[in-house]
């Protein structure tokens, strides 16, 4: 339906000659039409998108196999199922979400009626990452379509097979002036960010998120930033260590640890360290066998750059005295890093100073809850926090003292599949929310509308030296 834009990725001398500007202007003009579409029209677009995904299920799995060597069943679990669930959630609720919302009238504004209209923001830019390319592109796209926007998508060049597959989806499903997918490297994103989008939805690193926000500020574009950070796991003294080890091992090795909500380090009560290490090894063996490098269920690192970065983290930790208690094997030719558990970890190690984004898990111990809180709060606010505890007072203690995006109690990662919950970060881990109604609202302007129907407000006009006006204004003040 629309022409592939990969050829447009060549640099140009200036913005005025940039072919992206012509695309932008056509789609911006279309946004004034698309914003007036009804719920049934938007739902039909989402249903077409869903039918394409279901018809091309094998194609999606093949693309992720080519990019990550990801097992088909993991693709179904982490990419296809959540997108389908998200679309179903939107289609079930969109009529209600779009309905104008009546607002009660305060006494001092008697004689007026007010409501809030849900209106599209206009032309939006979605910049998606490589780690879950379908999930983190198509879920925000579904929200943007539901809100009545036109959309330009910039996918990551690091997952080219997935990007090509999604480009075909966009061509087959959408009018080219309503949705476009553009491939290319970072220079393409930079050129797109120079354009005055009405909203930008970015998923990626905190460092790049700052660049996106700075670019958006030039046009006062609103932003949603889905970032990352070091998401901690707290295991208190009375926790079920066996369950904790199983859940954390799964969450840390899902997509070979390349997930923004993956557990990034563990703080465990010192009495349970040995037990946790043993249980973690047992769970890794249960899921991936004695030699995980031979298990097709474990995805590979996305590229050589990230592989070497992760190997460097391991080498730095070992030089500074960390102990490799589980795993540690690497194979550059295969882009393989074994599920690895590090103990005797200190805050000076690089593995504790940056988001890991791989199957490496540092473990640190604590004696009391205050020590755990202090260690977490010494780092930037995380995207997620996971607390394993049997007693509600322990959970409440950490909830009251640690700021983060979202929290899961006695499990990890699973909240990212809850469309009704809404997921997002705080400060350095993000701005705004995604999923379900929260995702719809991110792409929506809630316009307040007030209508004056009766009574005369001219009694409030100057001159304020008028005694009657003064009396009425003082009465208004008391009403407030």
**pLDDT tens digits in sequence order for the chain, 480 residues long:** 443 444 343 333 344 567 899 999 999 999 999 999 999 999 999 999 999 999 999 999 999 999 999 999 999 999 999 999 999 999 999 999 999 999 999 888 889 999 999 999 999 999 999 999 999 999 999 999 999 999 999 999 999 999 999 999 999 999 999 999 999 999 999 999 999 999 999 999 999 999 999 999 999 999 999 998 899 999 999 999 999 999 999 999 999 999 999 999 999 999 999 999 999 999 999 999 999 999 999 999 999 999 999 999 999 999 999 999 999 999 999 999 999 999 999 999 999 999 999 999 999 999 999 999 999 999 999 999 999 999 999 999 999 999 999 999 999 999 988 888 889 999 999 999 999 999 999 999 999 999 999 888 887 888 888 888 888 888 877 876
Report pLDDT for 7: 38
Distance, CA of 122 to CA of 141 (rounded, Å):
13
Non-local CB neighbours of 218 within 8 Å, separated by 6+ positions: 194
Residue that has been written with the tokens 């379509």 in this structure: 145
Name the pairing type of β-strands 101-103 and 112-120.
Answer: antiparallel
Peptide bond into 231 cis (omega under 30): no
Whether 441 and 143 have beta carbons less than 8 Å apart is answered as: no
- Residue 432 · residue 225 · CB < 8 Å: yes
Q: What ranges in 116-185 are assigned the alpha helix state H?
A: 135-146, 160-173
Q: What are the residues facing 103 on neighbouring strands?
A: 114
Give catalytic residue positions: 226, 260
DSSP single-letter state for residue 255: G
Show the tokens assigned to 231. 């998401």
For residue 265 the two structure tokens come to 């380090």
What is residue 367's DSSP assignment? Answer: S
Name every residue whose Cβ is closer than 8 Å to that of residue 53 and which is 6 or more positions away in sequence.
60, 80, 83, 84, 138, 169
Q: For residue 15, give both structure tokens.
A: 């913005």
Any idea what DSSP says for residue 134?
T
Q: Which residues contact 196 (CB under 8 A, 6 or more apart)?
A: 219, 221
Answer for the pair 293, 258: CB distance below 8 angstroms, yes or no.
no
Q: Are 279 and 235 in contact (CB under 8 A)?
A: no
**Cα maximum dimension of the chain:** 89
Q: What is the pLDDT of residue 209?
A: 95
Spatial separation of the C-alpha atoms in residues 217 and 196, rounded to whole Å: 10
Question: Contact at 8 Å (CB) between 436 and 421?
Answer: yes
d(CA 117, CA 53): 32
pTM equals: 0.92
Residues in the chain: 480
Query: Are the CB atoms for 262 and 293 separated by under 8 Å?
Result: no
CB 383 within 8 A of CB 429: yes
- Are 17 and 137 in contact by the 8 Å Cβ rule? The answer is no
Q: Are the beta carbons of 364 and 267 closer than 8 angstroms?
A: yes
CA atoms within 13 A on the CB side of 79: 29
> What is residue 464's predicted lDDT score, i.e. its pLDDT?
84
3-state secondary structure of 231: coil
Q: What are phi and psi of 268, to 5 degrees?
A: -125, 145
Residue 480: the pLDDT is 64
Quote the tokens at residue 4: 């592939």
Q: How far apart are CA 256 and CA 276, in angstroms?
A: 20
User: Within 10 A of 177 (CB to CB), how many other CB atoms are there?
Assistant: 17
Task: Show the beta-strand stretches assigned E in 107-242.
Answer: 112-120, 123-127, 150-154, 179-182, 199-203, 222-226, 232-235
Distance in angstroms (rounded) separating the CA atoms of residues 226 and 204? 6
Phi, psi of 285 (to 5 degrees): -65, -40
User: Minimal CA–CA distance to 239: which of 386, 45, 434, 57?
Assistant: 386
Contact 449, 116 (CB under 8 A): yes
């Amino acid at each position: 339906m629309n022409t592939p834009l990969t050829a447009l990725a060549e640099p140009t001398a200036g913005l005025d000659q940039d072919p992206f500007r012509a695309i932008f202007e056509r789609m911006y003009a279309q946004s004034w039409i698309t914003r007036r579409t009804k719920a049934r029209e938007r739902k039909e677009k989402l249903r077409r998108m869903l039918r394409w995904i279901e018809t091309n299920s094998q194609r999606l799995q093949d693309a992720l196999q080519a990019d990550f060597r990801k097992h088909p069943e993991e693709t179904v679990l982490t990419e296809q199922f959540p997108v389908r669930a998200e679309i179903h959630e939107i289609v079930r609720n969109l009529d209600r979400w779009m309905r104008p919302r009546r607002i009660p009238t305060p006494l001092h504004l008697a004689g007026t009626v007010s409501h809030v209209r849900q209106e599209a923001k206009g032309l939006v830019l979605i910049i998606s990452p490589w780690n879950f390319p379908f999930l983190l592109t198509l879920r925000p796209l579904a929200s943007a379509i539901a809100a009545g926007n036109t959309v330009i998508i910039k996918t990551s060049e690091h997952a080219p097979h997935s990007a090509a597959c999604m480009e075909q989806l966009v061509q087959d499903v959408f009018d080219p002036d309503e949705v476009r997918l553009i491939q290319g490297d970072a220079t393409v994103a930079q050129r797109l960010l120079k354009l005055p989008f009405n909203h930008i939805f970015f998923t990626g690193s905190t460092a790049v998120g700052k660049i996106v926000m700075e670019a958006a500020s030039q046009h006062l574009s609103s932003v949603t930033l889905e970032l990352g950070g070091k998401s901690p796991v707290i295991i208190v003294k009375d926790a079920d260590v066996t369950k904790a080890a199983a859940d954390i091992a799964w969450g840390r090795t899902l997509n070979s640890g390349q997930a923004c909500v993956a557990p990034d380090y563990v703080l465990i009560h010192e009495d349970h360290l040995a037990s946790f290490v043993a249980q973690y090894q047992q769970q890794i063996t249960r899921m991936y066998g004695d030699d995980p490098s031979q298990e097709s269920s474990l995805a590979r690192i996305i590229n050589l750059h990230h592989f070497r970065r992760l190997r460097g983290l391991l080498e730095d930790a070992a030089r500074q005295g960390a102990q490799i208690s589980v795993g540690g094997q690497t194979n550059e030719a295969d882009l393989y890093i074994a599920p690895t558990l590090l103990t005797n970890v200190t805050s000076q190690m690089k593995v504790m100073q940056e988001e890991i984004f791989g199957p490496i898990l540092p473990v640190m111990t604590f004696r009391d809850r205050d020590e755990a809180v202090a260690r977490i709060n010494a780092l930037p606010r995380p995207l997620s926090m996971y607390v394993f505890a049997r007693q509600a007072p322990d959970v409440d203690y950490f909830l009251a003292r640690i700021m983060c995006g979202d929290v899961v109690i006695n499990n990890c990662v699973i909240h990212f599949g809850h469309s009704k919950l809404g997921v997002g970060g705080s400060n350095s881990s993000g701005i705004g929310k995604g999923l379900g109604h929260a995702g719809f609202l991110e792409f929506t302007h809630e316009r307040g509308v007030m209508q004056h129907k009766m009574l005369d407000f001219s009694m409030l006009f100057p001159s304020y030296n008028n005694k009657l006006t003064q009396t009425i204004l003082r009465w208004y003040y008391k009403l407030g």
